[in-house]
Structures are given as C-alpha cells and as structure tokens.
Amino acid sequence: MKFKNVVGVDVLDGTTSWNSLGGVELEESAAIDINTMWAQSNERNGFHLDRVAGAWVGDLSVVDNWNGVVVEYSDSIVLPYVRAWSNDLAGLRADKSHQVWLNNVFVTNNGTYGIRADGCVDLQVVDARAVNHSSQWPNVYVGRSSNVSLVDLTLFGGAGDGLAIYRSGNVLVDGLTSSDHGADLYDHGVDLYNAEKTTLVNVVSSRGTDGIELGDVTTFTKLIDIAVLDNIRYGLSEPSGWDNSVEGLLVIGSNTRTDCNTSNLGGCGSWDVLVTDQTAWGSFVGNAASDATNYFDVNGQMNFNRFANWVDFDNQYRGWSEEVLPQKKWTFEGIQDLPVEFSQDPHIPWYIDETISRDNSDGTYAIRVDLTVQNDESCVVLTSTVPDGHLMTSVFVIGDEGDILKAAIDSVPKTEVAATPVGAWFEWELEEVEAGEHEFRFCLEKLSSDQVNTWVAIDEVLFQQHTTCVNDEQCQLLDFSLVEADSVLRSRFPQPTADDVLDHEWGECTDPKQTYPLGCAAVGETWGVASTTAFLRYSRELMLDERGDDDGLCEEDEACLFTPNLGSYQGHGELEYVGNLGAGLVSGVDLYQYLENGY
C-alpha cells in the first residue's frame, strides 16, 4: 500500500499489511498520526517513510519483511513503541533524516542490523533492546551521523559489533549493556571508528573481541563509568592514541590479553579501578525460573544467540529463548555421590569431577571415569520414568584409537562415540523413547594400550519432550536483569545530588539530506546552533510522563529514575518516590527508584 502527498490523515490507524509486495509506504507526506500498525511477510519494507515531514506512529509491529521499518529523507518522526523481528535485513533503518525519535524499541532476530542509522542528524533512541542478529553486521550501527543520543540500550548476541559508531560526531551513549558479540577480531562490544566528541556513560561491555575499541582518529571522546569484562582480547583498546579522556569507575577482569591497551590514557591508571575475578556471566540472571516455565533458576547461564522474543512481560529484560525447556534435568554441582537415579559399575566407579564442565552449563561439576588398563570397561546407568521424548547430554571423551563411549537404551545398543587424543565437548542426543520407565546406559571401553589414560566426563543430562518449542511453556525463559547477589555491576553508584552533573556537546548542523551531515542542534535547540546539555549523573529521565523533553537525559525540573547499577538494567517492579533534589547545577529534579534491584 503506497500513499503519496498525504497530509494530516489518520485513516491508516489499525492498518494490517500481510503477505503483499510492499507493506505501508508514505511518500512526500506530512502530519501523519497513526495509533497502531502491523506489517508482516511483505516482499519489501514493512513500514516505509520517504520524504515525510512529521509522523507519529504509536504502536508499530513489523515482522518477516525485507526491512522492518525504513525512514529516509524525512523530518520529525516519532515512533514511541516499535517491535521489529525476523526481517530479512534491518529491523529498523533511518537514512539521511532529521529529528527521529525512537522509544521502547525491541529488535530481535533480524538478518543484518537491529537498528541502522546512516546520515542522520538529531536522532534519539531511548529504551531499546537488540538481540540475536546473526550476520556480521552490528546490533546497532550509527554511521556518518551527528547529534545522536542513545539512552538505555541492551544488546546481546550476534556475530558483529554490539554498538558501532562510524564517522560520526557528537554522539552520547548513556546506559548500555553489550554482551556476546564478535565472531572475529574486527567485532567488539562497542566499536568507535573515526568518531569525534562522543560521550560514553555507564557502559558494560563483555564477551566481545574487545570490550570497547576507540579506533582510527577517534578524538575528544569521554568515557565515564565503564565495565569491560571477559573479552577475548582487550577490555579497552585505544590503538591510535588520540585525545580522549576518562573519569569515574572502571571495572575490569577476565579479559584474555590486556585490560587496558591504552597507552595514551596511561593504561588503567586514570580511573578509579575495580579489579574482579568474577565473570560477567555471574552478574546476569540467565535462565529464570517460574512456575509455568523453567524448573531451574541458573544465574548467568543462557545462550543469548538462541533468544526468540519478548512477550509482554512486566520486566522489560525478560523474554523467551528458542531452546526447548527440559522436562527433567540432572546436574552434579555440589554433590559428593551420584544422584539416586544413577547406578554404576562397582569395579571401576565413576566420581564427581569438580574442575571440568562445558561452557554455559550449570556449574563446574561433571561425572567422570578413568581407565588405565587395556580392555577395561566401566558403565553408569540412569533409570528414570520419563514422558515421550529423548535424552540429551554433553560428553568429553579423550583417549587413543579404538577407545569408545557406548550408549544403550533398555539394554539395546544405540550409538557410540570414538575417543580422540585431544578431546572436545559435544552434545549427544539419543533416539526418542515412549513414555514410561527406561534405562539409559553409558559405557566407556578402553581398547588402547596401558600407556594411554582414557577418560570420559558427562556434564548435565537433560530429558526433552519436544525438539522444538511448541508453545511458550515449552521454551526456556531468559532474563537479562542482574542477580540480587551480584557485587560487580549492581549498586555501584550513590544517589545523585543536584550538583552531580555531566555535560555533552552538540554541534552545528547542515541539511540532513546531504550525504555527510556535519551535525545539528541539540533537541529543543535552535536549528544550526551549537550547544551543550547538562544532565544529572546516576539517573535517567522517566519517559512519556508529560514532563520534560523525553530524551532520556535527566535535566532540570524533570522526573528521573535513580540508576545505581552499571549498564542498562536499573531495577524492576513498582517505582517509589525518593524526593526532590532541590537547587543545584540541575535543579528541581524529582527522583524515583525501583523497589526491586535484582533477582
């Protein structure tokens, strides 16, 4: 459906575009007001604004299109509630546009970018989650743009960068958690390339190649209150050595090479440094338990790349995984003997190994047996009443040629795995059985010489009734919140006073329709005039409360949320009033906080 030269119309309210050549396209139009719109399975873009001067779309869902949402050559676009998932290319794309405001954005499982902004001036993204974009492109990309404000972003999973800022200036990032990014040495949690006058405040970047990279000719960038953990290479990397500055807290730990590859910044010495040996995995809730879903609450253990979607949870950091929920589960954490449903060969017994497990499993314990004499064999047997379905486990077999691990169901041989001299963890899935009591037998047989130590470890045994998610109750429930016991990212900052202030510089601007805009005025400021915004530290503006400018920054006379934690998660549940902060550099702020901070 294509509309041209439309002005001041709301006839598209409630429109559904399904399985068409194109979704909904508005061209050379103005003053558009739409409450709800849904676009699905269209060959082209789900929702496309081309040369539109003013549009408000209250509730927009786009799924399984070419691009989800495209805004180009447009001005004054407001999208306060966006859902974009499973589109072939980008979930949300803004090109060469001015004053684009996005709030409460969920972008998941799209083919390239979650959010892509190129050639934009005066762009705001507040309260966004971008997860599981499997291509090499970033979850969120800002290119050749100026005066961009990114507040409260949660980015998990993906083969590319978490957040990439490329050839852009005057970008402010306040409140970001970026984790599990980087398939090669060019992908990072946060990647700044040829960026100028960028401010990063309250940022957590973990499990990337580098946590934060300040790439070529990145200048006058400020880094304030940062955590970089568990990265493959560096926590913070500044290879070019340009004129950048740091202040506040730096939390570092478990980065494989160097925590701070930043000679120009004096290494990590310019920060208030907290060194931790805890991984970031332990900070996040991970597999969340509830009566209707997961049987186990396993902090920090989940596969972000299997994330499926949010489904109207009260907690905005909670959603469904594509991983099937197990009906039964046996783990070996913190026990001395095998669980009661396991029996074993008394001649060569199995034991609990407290030092080995596969990645992402429940703890560090596994059951293990070692064979040192040729022709020895040892078995462990699980006997349990199960529904119809199949058994899955993770095994590690190391030995020489001829050594094998065999599996049998109800004394009938089913499959076997050959040992290797190096060994590696792999997932082992047995064939399906009907409901009832069954015996699952695992036997390690040593056929190699006595000189070779042959052993096997089995970590975490699951029984699944379904191979795919048949409904939400059969899927894993994931939570990106912090755990209440976390001491690394949680409760790091004090309540602010009216004088706890940061500032960010905005630049002058040119026509946003140019190929390479040079910048523009701050939100609410006069077009073409450079300015500076002062905003309260350790806080964010409460959105859509008919008070303030809804840019996510806590400014004078606004209602704001106290942000005690590092990263995007700042609590959940009901809000309680803390008080008015009174007069100061940022005066008249009413401060609130969540009743709950962590699980």
pLDDT in tens, 40-97: 998 899 999 999 999 999 899 999 999 999 999 999 999 999 999 889 999 999 999 9
Task: Give the model's pLDDT for residue 363.
Answer: 53
Q: What integer is the mean pLDDT of 124-133?
A: 88
User: 2-37 pLDDT, tens per residue?
Assistant: 878 788 766 566 667 766 777 889 999 999 999 898
DSSP 3-state percent helix, strand, coil across the chain (nearest 5): 0, 50, 50
**Once rounded to an integer, what is the mean pLDDT over residues 478-487?**
88
- pLDDT for 486 beyond 80: yes
Model confidence at 520, pLDDT cuts 50, 70, 90, reads very low
Task: Check pLDDT > 60 for residue 295.
Answer: no
Q: Please compute the mean of the pLDDT values over residues 517-531 and round it to a whole number.
A: 47
% the chain with pLDDT above 70: 86
Higher pLDDT, 319 or 587: 587
Mean pLDDT of the chain: 85
Contacts 24+ apart (CB under 8 A), 557-562: 557/587, 557/588, 557/589, 558/588, 558/589, 558/590, 559/589, 559/590, 559/592, 560/536, 560/589, 560/590, 560/591, 560/592, 561/591, 561/592, 561/593, 561/594, 562/495, 562/496, 562/538, 562/591, 562/592, 562/593
**Cα 101 to Cα 77: distance, rounded to the nearest angstrom:** 6
- Is the pLDDT at 129 greater than 80? The verdict is yes
Q: Rounded to whole angstroms, how far apart are CA atoms 162 and 140?
A: 6
Position 183 scores a pLDDT of 58
- How confident is the model at residue 515, as a pLDDT? 39
- Highest-confidence segment of 319-333, 396-410, 515-529: 396-410
pLDDT score recorded for residue 578: 97
Domains and CATH numbers, the chain: 1-126 (2.160.20), 136-278+487-599 (no CATH), 326-468 (2.60.120.260)
pLDDT tens per residue, range 311-355? 666 677 887 777 777 788 888 877 778 888 999 888 899 998 887
pLDDT exceeds 90 at position 434: yes
- pLDDT on residue 94: 97
Separation of CA 136 from chain center: 15
